[in-house]
Amino acid sequence: MSPTSIEDKLAVNKYDIDREVHIKFNESICQTCEKHPCVYVCPAVCFKLAEGHIVFSYEGCLECGSCRVACTNKAIDWTIPRPGFGICYEFG
């Protein structure tokens, strides 16, 4: 049973990727954050930790809102992609 990596999983999804980033975060708050919940709660693994910094890629976002809810430090400015963009489920 394949694939198993998150990249391969997201690759089967249909997206209309916007050039505008729909989720922004305040890096200076992230610097004070110890547990980095965004890294673990994002089902698409859009947030990664690299050398102490949060690296974010919005393209695979499933628009679930998990990062927004889990970031109790309020570092994340969560919106949804502009109309017509983002994830487009065929099954759901």
Site string for another protein, 22-61 (x = CB under 8 A): -------------x-x-xxx-xxx----------------
Q: Does residue 69 belong to the site contacting another protein (CB under 8 A)?
A: yes
Least distance from C-beta 27 to another protein, angstroms?
19
Closest to another protein by CB, 34 vs 51, is 34
Contact residues for 18 (Cβ-Cβ < 8 A; gap 6+): 81, 82, 85, 86
Distance CA 84, CA 62 (A): 14
Contact 63, 78 (CB under 8 A): no
Q: Does residue 13 belong to the site contacting another protein (CB under 8 A)?
A: yes
